[in-house]
A and B are shown apart, each in its own frame.
Chain A
Amino acid sequence: MIKEQKPTVFVVDDDAAVRDSLRLLLKSVGLPVEVFESGQDFLDADRDDRPGCLVLDIRMPGMSGLELQVKLNERHSILPIIFITGHGDVPMAVEAMQAGAVDFIQKPFRDQDLLDRINQALDKDAGSRRMLAERNMIRKRLESLTPREREVLDLVVAGKANKVIAGDLNLSQRTVEIHRARVMEKMEAHSLAHLVRMVLEVERPEA
Chain B
Amino acid sequence: MSSKHTQAVRGAAARRPRSQTGPEYRAILEAAVDAIIVVDHQGTIEDFSPRAQQLFGYTAEEVIGRNVSMLMPEPHQSAHDGYMRRYMETGEKRVIGKGREVWARRKDGSLFPCDLSIGEVSGAQPPRFVGFLHDITARKESEEQLRRSEAELRLAQELANLGNYVIHAERGEHDYYSPQLHRILGVDPGDPSIIREEYLERWVHATDRKRVAEAFVRMDSGKAPLDIEYQVVLRDGSVRHLHHLAQAVLDDDGGVVKYIGTIHDITDRRRAEDDARVLQERLTHFSRLSTMGEMAAGLAHEINQPLSAIATYARACQRLMVQPESDPGDVLAALEQINAQALRAGEVIRRLRNFVKNREVRREPVDCARLLEDLSTLAETDARLHNIRLRLDCEEPLPTVYADPIQLQQVVLNLVRNAIDAMSEAPEDRREVVLSTRMDADGEVEVTVADRGTGLAPEATDHLFNPFFTTKASGTGLGLAISRSIVRAHGGRLWHTPNDDCGVRFHFTLPVSPAVTTGE
Contacts and interface: CB of A to CB of B under 8 A. Distances in A.
Contacts of A108: 304, 307-308, 311
A61 B315 CA distance: 28
A25 B312 contact: yes
A21 B312 contact: yes
Given A27-B316, A27-B330, A28-B320, A18 B309 contact: yes
A60 interface: yes
Given A17-B306, A17-B344, A108-B304, A59 B385 contact: yes
Contact of A62 (B323, B326, B337, B387): B387
Interface string B315-355: 11001100100100010011001001100100000000000
B402 interface: no
A86 interface: yes
A24 interface: yes
Interface in A2-53: 14-15, 17-18, 20-22, 24-25, 27-29
Contacts, number: 97
Interface string A170-188: 0000000000000000000
Majority secondary structure of chain A interface residues (helix, strand, loop or mixed) = loop
Contacts of A25: 312-313, 315-316, 319
Interface residues of B, number: 36
A15 B308 CA distance: 11
A61 to B, nearest CB: 4
B303 to A, nearest CB: 10
Contacts of B311: 108-111
B305 A15 contact: yes
Contact of A64 (B309, B326, B387): B387
A86 B428 contact: no
A17 B309 contact: yes
Contacts of A64: 387, 428
B387 A87 contact: no
Contacts of A110: 311
Interface of A: 14-15, 17-18, 20-22, 24-25, 27-29, 59-64, 67, 86-88, 107-111
Given A18-B305, A24-B320, 6 more contacts: A15-B309, A17-B337, A21-B334, A28-B326, A64-B428, A87-B297
Interface of B: 297, 300-301, 304-313, 315-316, 319-320, 323, 326, 330, 333-334, 337, 340-341, 344, 380, 383-385, 387-390, 428, 431
